[in-house]
Amino acid sequence: IYQKVVNGVRPYFRPGLENCDCPTDELAIIIRKGWSEDPAERPDFHALKGMLRKLNKDGDNILDNLLSRMEQYANNLETLVEERTADYLEQKKKAEDLLYNMLPKYVATQLIKGEAVTAKSYESVSIYFSDICGFTAMSAESTPHQVVDLLNDLYTTFDSIIENYDVYKVETIGDAYMVVSGVPILNGNLHCREIARMSLALLKAVKTFRIRHRPNEQLKLRIGIHTGPVCAGVVGLKMPRYCLFGDTVNTASRMESHGHPLKIHVSPQSKAILDKFQTFILECRGPVEMKGKGKITTYWLLGEHPGS
């Protein structure tokens, strides 16, 4: 019998009912429907139950018990499938949420769909870097728990603020915070405006930020902004990260490191774009010597005119 089924003989191998003591022709028809090759002709458990009950009108007997057990099995199977499906959907959502937290939404959606995410070049984006002046000394004088609480409180505040702008947080390393605008979705020249407005909002928040274990101490945030071309792409398989590459990243980092506490240091490239909006207040700092760049005239971003 097994070999006949495997070989797929035509006509399809089925038990013969001619010599069987089948109570009624109707029951034989139901049996044949149950092994039909066409799924549309095969009745499900509920349909079978109805068919068999029509044949069994005399009350409680072995057939009733069989139908009852079959119904219970079907119900248990449906419940199990629903539970497993719900578990699968819950785990799938957790995995997707984690991916959305690790990568830009556009990139994460591509990966979830199974599409390839290729590295791209962008002609103009704006990058924000910041760190906490004196963080190393503060960490040495604090317990690990206090340092973690400080960074957790600070970055929770930062994350809630940057949600209001068209930006993407690239990474945080210790007290360093890196944000970009203009990738992976292009936004014209708005990337510089978004980074500038975000920087002003973060600086304002820092001035009122309270350090739990040093409530009387002012947190000194140093910010640098630069605009230029970058390459961006997803790096890694087990822990994918959306990374930026290029000299623009290095220059933005140097703008931050050559800045002053509680000030926003702006490169001439960013200043040129901000001037087009005619709403931002900038002050010339003067020439600053930067590694690999020589002397560069940089600026302080002081604010934005009200009502802009």
Convert the pLDDT of each residue in 241-258 to its tens digit.
Answer: 889 999 999 999 999 999
Q: Residue 207: its pLDDT value, please?
A: 94
209 and 243 fall within a common domain: yes
Of all residues in the chain, the percent with pLDDT exceeding 90 is: 56
Residue 103 lies in a domain: no
Of all residues in the chain, the percent with pLDDT exceeding 70 is: 88
Q: Which of 44-58, 103-117, 184-198 has the lowest mean pLDDT?
A: 44-58
Cβ neighbours for 128, distance < 8 A, ≥ 6 positions apart: 167, 177, 178, 179, 180, 195, 198, 199, 223, 224, 225, 252
Stretch 63-80: mean pLDDT:
78
Cα angle, residue 91 at apex, residues 87 and 96 outer, rounded to 5°: 145
Residue 263 has pLDDT above 80, yes or no: yes
Residue 104 lies in a domain: no
Residue 181 has pLDDT above 70, yes or no: yes
In the numeric block, which tokens belong to residue 221? 């945030």
Q: For the chain, what is the domain count?
A: 2
Which of 51, 66, 95 terminates a domain? The answer is 95
Q: Residue 46: its pLDDT value, please?
A: 81
140 and 279 fall within a common domain: yes
In the numeric block, which tokens belong to residue 193? 């405006």
Tokens 């960490």 — which residue? 139
State the pLDDT confidence band at 102, using cuts at 50, 70 and 90.
Answer: confident
202 and 289 fall within a common domain: yes
E strands, 39-167, are: 120-132
Residue 160 lies in a domain: yes
- Show the DSSP H helices in 8-61 as ranges: 25-34, 45-55
Residue 169 has pLDDT above 70, yes or no: yes
CB atoms within 10 A of CB 159: 12
Residue 224: what residue type?
G
Cβ neighbours for 113, distance < 8 A, ≥ 6 positions apart: none
131 and 13 fall within a common domain: no
Residue 110 lies in a domain: no
Domain that holds residue 71: 2-95
What CATH number does residue 202 fall under?
Answer: 3.30.70.1230
For the chain, helix (H) and strand (E) counts, in that order, are 10, 8
29 and 77 fall within a common domain: yes
Q: Residue 63: its pLDDT value, please?
A: 63
Cα angle, residue 251 at apex, residues 269 and 101 outer, rounded to 5°: 100
State the pLDDT confidence band at 10, using cuts at 50, 70 and 90.
Answer: low
67 and 161 fall within a common domain: no
16 and 90 fall within a common domain: yes
Cβ neighbours for 49, distance < 8 A, ≥ 6 positions apart: 67, 70, 71
126 and 79 fall within a common domain: no
More confident residue, 59 or 103: 103
Q: Residue 156: its pLDDT value, please?
A: 95
122 and 229 fall within a common domain: yes
DSSP state of 116: -
